[in-house]
Amino acid sequence: MKRVLQSKKPLRGDISVPGDKSIGHRAVIFGSMAHGLSRISNLSGGEDNLRTVQAFKDLGVKISTEEGETLYIEGKGWEGLTAPKNIIDCGNSGTTMRLLSGVLAGRPFTTILDGDQSLRRRPMQRVIDPLSRMGANLVGRDGTGLAPLEISGGRLKGIEYSMPIASAQVKSAILLAGLQAEGVTIIEEPQNSRNHSELMIKGFGGEVGLDGRHVSVQGGQTLHGKDVRIPGDISSAAFFLVAAAVIPGSQVVVRRVGVNPTRDGVIEILRRMGAEIELVGATMETGEPVADLKVTGRRLKGVEIGSELVARTIDEYPILAIAAALADGVTVISGVKELRFKESDRILAITEGLRSLGVEVEEREDGLTIRGRETLQGNKVRSFSDHRIAMSLAIAGLCAEGGVEIDDAQCVAISFPTFFDLVD
């Protein structure tokens, strides 16, 4: 349980957020699959990233931490992986389970991947289908597409696959299998999802074909170890972008945040709502665009957020819903059914959270309509043990009369262990 009190003053400061969770997973995975030494700095320290690190240790990869947060990975290529002695526990991490499925699809041994109650409810059929077509054998619990997943890998062949939903996790799983397969693998996405895997394949010396919504890889590629510095996580920065944007008079700078155009929907939406956000000192860090984000607080207005923004914004809807609850007028969010399959059913969790703070919300199967208010009413709220819901409600607490009391708030450690140090 955690109490967050109303902030009586504008927010001021210069902060840093942990390394990007998505890029962190991929740095550990590609470092483990490459030949030679990779040095990964600014890994988040969040539980999800640590699950991926532990998974590759379980698969026989030598990974050590010598200097502070820098991770050293001694990769021995795809053939360097060995059968784990136990079930691999992916905890709460969908990215660990789905991307690892792609790696293991090509390895000639059997592995069982499991996770917590939340991960056991999340759909895995979306990786089972394409990876099975490539020749791997994946079986979900009692024949359902749910974890635990038993994966027996082996010789794979490239496929052409048109993805029914935009998902960087599914795309990355297929790419990881495709790199080990015979022939070419071509993926078509309905909407471009985050491209960190594609950038990292290139960074580790591999080749990937990009053509609009098509991504392709040739099988049999060898990757080479590399130094990677992980940029700050825009999905973690988003909580403070919104906090500063909605509290008039605030001015906050978030340092060295990844601003990859496949991830920056939150900036575009906040700007449409009237927020002042400046990108300062834009540069590139190991293939990813990075900038300082400077936000100035003022009253926002409600907007329509259509389905064309889903892939670029997927993890930021909970915190954008808090911005909408404090904006003038109505915000309509549509085409976001995927939110029902995240760490919690986020449409349900946002609706319940906002209603308990006095906000008028209409819940639809694939979206939400939120009527903004001047301030929020303080209350006890539920995180559903979902890190992004807990952090969004904490930011709401800064703007709620009497603050909020959040159950199971320690789940913020999934992606942002130091979150409350910055809020308090």
Residue nearest to ligand S3P (CB): 22
Nearest CB to ligand S3P, comparing residues 95 and 356: 95
Residues 388-417 close enough to bind ligand S3P by CB under 6 A:
none
In 3-state terms, what secondary structure has residue 32? helix
Has 142 been annotated as catalytic? no
Give the Cα separation of 370 and 219 in Å (integer): 47
Write the CB contacts of 142 (distance below 8 Å, at least 6 apart in sequence): none
Transcribe 144-159 into DSSP letters. SS-SSEEEE----B--
Does the N-terminal peptide bond of residue 148 adopt cis geometry, omega within 30 degrees of 0? yes
DSSP lists the bridge partners of residue 380 as: 405
Q: Which of 47, 50, 74, 40 is nearest to 60 (CA)?
A: 74
- 100-119: contacts with ligand S3P (CB under 6 A): none
- Provide, rounded to whole angstroms, the least separation between the CB of residue 167 and ligand S3P: 4
- Listed ranges 37-45, 145-153, 167-175, 379-387: which one lies at the site for ligand S3P (CB under 6 A): 167-175
Q: Which of 49, 52, 193, 383 is in the footprint of ligand S3P by CB under 6 A? A: 193
Binds ligand S3P by CB under 6 A, chosen from 47, 315, 316, 386? 315
CA distance 401 to 404: 8
Give whichever of 99 and 252 is closer to ligand S3P, judged by the CB atom.
Answer: 99
Residue 101: partners with Cβ closer than 8 Å, 6 or more residues away: 113, 124, 127, 128, 131, 138, 149, 151, 173
- Contact present, 172 and 111 (Cβ < 8 Å): no
Q: Which amino acid is at 353?
A: G
Q: 387: part of which helix (H) or strand (E)?
A: helix 387-398
Q: What is the closest distance, in whole angstroms, from the C-beta atom of residue 317 to ligand S3P in the complex?
A: 10
List 40, 168, 187, 252, residue binding ligand S3P (CB under 6 A): 168
Shortest Å, Cβ 230 to ligand S3P: 12
Q: Which is nearer to ligand S3P, 116 or 338 (CB)?
A: 338
CB nearer to ligand S3P: pick between 89 and 315: 315
**Piece in contact with ligand S3P (CB under 6 A), picked from 4-12, 168-176, 363-371, 373-381:** 168-176
Can residue 22 be called a binding residue for ligand S3P (CB under 6 A)? yes
Q: How far is the CB of 290 from ligand S3P (least distance, A)?
A: 18
Closest CA to 100 of 71, 68, 136: 136
Kindly state the DSSP code that residue 328 receives in the 8-state scheme. Answer: B
Q: Is 185 an interacting residue with respect to ligand S3P (CB under 6 A)?
A: no
Among 149, 243, 290, 314, binds ligand S3P (CB under 6 A): 314
Three-state secondary structure call for residue 123: coil
44 in contact with ligand S3P (CB under 6 A): no
Catalytic hit among 227, 315, 407, 408: 315
Q: Which of 95, 111, 250, 351 binds ligand S3P (CB under 6 A)?
A: 95
Rule CB under 6 A: is residue 169 a binding residue for ligand S3P?
yes
CB of 402 to ligand S3P, least distance (A): 32
Residue type, 208: V
Per rule CB under 6 A, is residue 216 in the interface with ligand S3P? no
Mark residues 332-371: x for contact with ligand S3P by CB under 6 A, - for none. Answer: ------x---------------------------------
Tell me which long-range contacts 75-80 makes (C-beta under 8 A, separation of at least 24): 75/31, 75/32, 75/33, 75/34, 75/35, 75/36, 75/37, 75/38, 75/223, 75/225, 76/35, 77/33, 77/34, 77/35, 77/222, 77/223, 78/33, 78/103, 78/106, 78/107, 78/179, 78/180, 80/32
Q: Which residues bind ligand S3P (CB under 6 A)?
A: 22, 25, 95, 167-169, 172, 193-194, 314-315, 338
Which residues are tagged catalytic?
A: 315
